[in-house]
């Protein structure tokens, strides 16, 4: 097929226009789900869809859909991402995926007319959990039928209100969340910024994602006994901090030894009583462990849990933990990976294949559709910050791959 024409000025204009909703400082964005800023962004997408000749639909939880009807019916080919942001996040995380899907489908309509299979773009309402810490992919979970009735009450904002109250406040009926469920989606492809340094280090603009990592978050508490830091001998101490230090170092080193793409992070620790002259009696801490391979993921988790038990036993400490998050890896559809590589080659876009170390809406959508992802290079690997940036040239390359892939699927 011929090169797909993507207007770089139009991409830049869309990015800047959307970033105005919730703008903070020069390049920051704070746009939480169901906020006035988020409402403005949904209205922006609605107007874009309408102007491009797409049929517009807002579903029961606030996802915004644009539809280009196919001549042969059947299940839809869908692309998109989320439009909420972190607090004082950037312009590109999530937003670029929703913008890119819209621009790709708009370009295909203008250059090739009506597709054989229906194409849809979606702007998911929530992915970041930046207002509701346990919303946990509210938009894509609604589409995949993974919201429960009790979630309306138990999903609460940092400021205390329930997600049910927030939905009612903007005119949505939270009791109808199940109406957002879809069973007519064949394929979902999500474009996203990489959020890491791998593409930049390789000097390649675009990646095809072959797997989205599995994630497990532990909240652990290790307990010993508080005593005098000088008078109590080392060999009979029950030092919770010493146990934690050994666990933290060992867990991180385990991921190092396993090699990429295994990662482990000790992101939070609370020490008690936290005074210079007292042996700590308790440390609460988190372990974030990730791997996209189902087998190696299990090995990583078993090593971490074994380490925590062994250190605590050897040092005479008590330890307990809860698993707070446990997302299974989502492997991309092999045929889609192959197709996207061919699409990239056809558009003369160099790509590499890699796993995603972050979770995405595509991970939820994998339960109802064939899925794959496209990454666009992030400058310095930055994300979740106003400094996040992808060049227009790289965005054009990513959208060309997406559009060429959608063309192969729908035309």
Based on the fold, state whether residues 323 and 340 are members of the same structural domain: no
pLDDT computed for residue 106 by the predictor:
98
Its pTM stands at: 0.91
Judge whether 352 lies within some domain.
Answer: yes
pLDDT (average), residues 67-94: 97
Based on the fold, state whether residues 92 and 153 are members of the same structural domain: yes
pLDDT computed for residue 237 by the predictor:
97
Judge whether 1 lies within some domain.
Answer: no
Number of domains in the chain: 2
pLDDT computed for residue 397 by the predictor:
98
Supply the range of the domain harboring residue 110. Answer: 8-212+329-410
C-alpha distance from residue 331 to each of 267, 272, 283, 339 (Å): 26, 41, 36, 15
Judge whether 338 lies within some domain.
Answer: yes
Mean pLDDT over the full length of the chain: 97
> For residue 65, which phi and psi values (nearest 5 degrees)?
-115, 140
pLDDT computed for residue 325 by the predictor:
87
Based on the fold, state whether residues 70 and 188 are members of the same structural domain: yes
Strand partners, 372: 189
Q: What percentage of the chain carries pLDDT values higher than 70? A: 100
Based on the fold, state whether residues 284 and 347 are members of the same structural domain: no
pLDDT computed for residue 185 by the predictor:
98
User: For 136-167, how does the pLDDT look when each residue is reduced to its tens digit (9 = 90+)?
Assistant: 899 999 999 999 999 999 999 999 999 999 99
CATH number at residue 173: 3.40.630.10
Based on the fold, state whether residues 192 and 66 are members of the same structural domain: yes
User: For 317-371, how does the pLDDT look when each residue is reduced to its tens digit (9 = 90+)?
Assistant: 999 999 998 988 999 999 999 999 999 999 999 999 999 999 999 999 999 999 9
Model confidence band, residue 73 (pLDDT cutoffs 50, 70, 90): confident
In angstroms, the CA 101 to CA 164 distance is: 29
In angstroms, the CA 327 to CA 312 distance is: 27
Based on the fold, state whether residues 281 and 346 are members of the same structural domain: no
User: For 1-39, how does the pLDDT look when each residue is reduced to its tens digit (9 = 90+)?
Assistant: 789 999 999 999 999 999 999 999 999 999 999 999 999
pLDDT (average), residues 263-284: 98
Query: Among the three residues 259, 294, 327, which one is the final residue of a domain in this structure?
Result: 327
Based on the fold, state whether residues 321 and 371 are members of the same structural domain: no
Based on the fold, state whether residues 315 and 381 are members of the same structural domain: no
pLDDT computed for residue 311 by the predictor:
98
pLDDT computed for residue 210 by the predictor:
96
pLDDT computed for residue 21 by the predictor:
98
CATH number at residue 281: 3.30.70.360
């Amino acid at each position: 097929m011929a090169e797909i024409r993507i207007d770089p000025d139009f991409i830049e204009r869309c990015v800047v226009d959307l970033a105005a909703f919730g703008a903070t400082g020069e390049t920051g964005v704070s746009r939480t789900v169901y906020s006035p800023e988020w409402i403005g962004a949904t209205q922006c997408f609605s107007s874009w869809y309408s102007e491009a000749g797409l049929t517009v639909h807002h579903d029961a939880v606030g996802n915004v859909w644009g539809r280009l009807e196919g001549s042969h019916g059947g299940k839809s080919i869908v692309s998109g991402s989320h439009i909420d942001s972190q607090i004082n996040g950037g312009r590109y995380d999530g937003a670029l995926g929703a913008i890119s899907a819209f621009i790709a489908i708009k370009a295909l309509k203008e250059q090739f007319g009506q597709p054989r299979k229906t194409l849809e773009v979606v702007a998911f309402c929530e992915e970041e959990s930046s207002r509701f810490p346990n919303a946990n992919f509210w938009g894509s979970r609604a589409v995949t039928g993974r919201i429960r009735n009790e979630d309306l009450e138990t999903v609460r904002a940092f400021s205390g209100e329930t997600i049910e109250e927030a939905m009612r406040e903007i005119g949505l009926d939270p009791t109808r969340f199940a109406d957002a469920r879809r069973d007519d989606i064949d394929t979902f492809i999500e474009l996203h910024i990489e959020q890491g340094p791998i593409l930049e280090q390789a000097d390649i603009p675009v990646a095809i994602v072959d797997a989205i990592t599995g994630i497990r978050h532990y909240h652990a508490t290790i307990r010993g006994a508080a005593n005098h830091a000088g008078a109590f001998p080392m060999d009979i101490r029950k030092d919770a901090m010493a146990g934690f230090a050994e666990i933290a170092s060992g867990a991180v080193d385990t991921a190092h030894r396993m090699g990429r793409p295994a990662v482990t992070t000790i992101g939070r620790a609370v020490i008690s009583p936290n005074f210079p002259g007292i042996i700590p009696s308790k440390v609460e801490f988190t372990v974030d462990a990730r791997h996209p391979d189902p087998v190696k993921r299990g090995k990583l988790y078993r090593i971490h849990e074994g380490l925590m038990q062994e250190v605590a036993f050897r040092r005479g400490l008590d330890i307990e933990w809860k698993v707070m998050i446990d997302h299974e890896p989502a492997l991309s559809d092999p045929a889609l990976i192959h197709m996207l590589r061919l699409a990239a080659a056809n558009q003369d876009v160099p790509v590499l294949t890699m796993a995603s170390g972050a979770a995405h809406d595509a991970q939820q959508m994998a339960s109802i559709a064939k899925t794959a992802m496209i990454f666009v290079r992030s400058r310095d690997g930055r994300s979740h910050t106003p400094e996040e940036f992808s060049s227009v040239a790289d965005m054009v390359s990513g959208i060309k791959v997406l559009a060429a892939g959608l063309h192969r699927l729908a035309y």
